[in-house]
A and B are shown apart, each in its own frame.
Chain A
Amino acid sequence: MKNEVSDNIHGKILDQELRIISEIQASIKKVRLIKIKTITNSLNDLVSKCCTKYNNKVDLFFEGQETEVEDSLIIYIHNILDYLINDICENEFIAFKNEVNLIKISTHSDGKNFTTVIESNGKGFDYKDTCEKLNKENLDLMSFDEDEMKKFLSTINFASNIEKLLKLRSDLIYLGGNMKFESEVNEFRRLTIVIPLSSSIMQGLLVKIGDQIFAIPLDFIETIINKNTVKTKKSNKTEVIIYMDHIIQLVKVSELLNIETDLEPSCILIVKANNKRVALLVDSLLDQTDMVIKPKHSIMMDINEIKGATILGDGLVTLVLDIPSILKEI
């Protein structure tokens, strides 16, 4: 009886604490919001620069300037729009001599997702034809793999900044965003980009490898299994496990990251990204935590396995693994 009462009190306190935490998170997010119209001037400058460069006349319409986004995202969005506008001026309008060249950018946010649509009335491309060529039902770029993406971008003459668009796509995969093209020949070309706003705080699982701790975003983890309950099999020098009738390649994270460890790995995490599954072998699991991912320093840009770092409650820096790029490399 006594126990029941104290459990109840604990539950109440816990509830209250969780409520306070979510309130603090909400207000922190609010403080960091900036209106998107801060980048309008710079985009206007860019358009007029492009006009002189390619010798044509372009009008820019910017809808939804009151939309609020996180300050860290605003430069990011600006950069995306920057090279998209460049590309439109270079490829779309030059090839299709229009009397009035229009670029329409509209942004809106529904609290969860930030959506930006960039539309131009240039040459465009044949939507159905392109879909058929690529064997796709629609041009939702998230379902493409890298080669398909490159092929698609070259068919629609998006030549100037393929690298940047690929980078944007891999970022969006990580954040859980979306991007898709729509078009009609000689009418319009529209690119819709959806960026989730809550991206800055995400849930992560802390794992131990050797004497180091790493975080893995929870969104990519499909299941966690005990190593002793599955049998590993060898096929052509690579180890695989069979899980729910799937054959999944087993990867030792310590070997991937060149970490020396004496411990026997005890856990297998099955991670999934881009419709590909891999089983990661880690030494042990520690905890689940909320984390804010901070971008990599330029000095670490060539390390693909790591997405960024996060500072945990104890003040220590913990590295966050980049699951999609690890899967790509394997």
Chain B
Amino acid sequence: MQILTFLLNDELFAIDITLVDTIENKMPITPVPNCKKYVIGLISNRGSVIPVINTSLILNDNNANNIFEKFIIINLGNEKLALAVNEIDDVLEIEEKTIENINNDEDFSIVNVNSNVITLLTYKQLKKI
């Protein structure tokens, strides 16, 4: 299984690469009034309108004043979402059995790669957005 790792407040996170559609540089975002807090706004990408998610807010990190440099556009079912992140790190090959759950919480999984702990964003977790 391959994962795409990215940086958020100097912490490493990862996402299953099969979910990823494209990675885009930052572009102008149209804010949406009266919308949920973690939605920064909308961007247009290849003719479709995609909402941008403040990734640090959905990961319970309250430091919302991040400078987002990259958007990871992911496929969730029939719709697309853009995750705003600080920086893209790498694509890693991991063994599926190295994924571990913490506190028996199925949605919260981490992997250990060369003694680096990476939090893995799962499909389930993203679907809740």
Q: Mark A67-107, 1 if CB is under 8 A from B, else 0.
A: 00000000000000000000000000000000000000000
B residues near A315, Cβ cutoff 8 Å = 44
State the CA gap A300–B33 with chains docked (Å): 10
Cβ contact within 8 Å between A297 and B50: yes
- Which residues of chain B in 45-92 are interfacial with respect to chain A, using CB atoms and an 8 Å cutoff? 47-51, 79, 81
Chain B at the A interface: SS class: strand
Q: How far is the CB of A324 from chain B (nearest CB, A)?
A: 17
Cβ contact within 8 Å between B79 and A319: no
Q: How far is the CB of B118 from chain A (nearest CB, A)?
A: 26
Closest-by-CB residue of A relative to B30 is A317
State the CA gap A258–B37 with chains docked (Å): 13
A300 touching B51 in the complex, CB below 8 Å, given contacts A257-B33, A316-B28, A318-B30? yes
State the CA gap A297–B42 with chains docked (Å): 10
Count contacts between A and B, CB distance < 8 Å: 55
A residues near B50, Cβ cutoff 8 Å = 297
Contact check: which of B34, B49, B81, B129 meets A303 at CB < 8 Å? B34
Q: Considering only CB atoms and an 8 Å cut-off, how many residues of chain B contact the other chain?
A: 21
Task: List residues of chain B with CB under 8 Å of any chain A CB.
Answer: 28, 30-36, 39, 41-44, 47-51, 79, 81, 129
Cβ contact within 8 Å between A212 and B51: no
State the CA gap A303–B51 with chains docked (Å): 14
Cβ contact within 8 Å between B79 and A306: no
Q: Mark A302-330, 1 if CB is under 8 A from B, else 0.
A: 01011001010001111100000000000
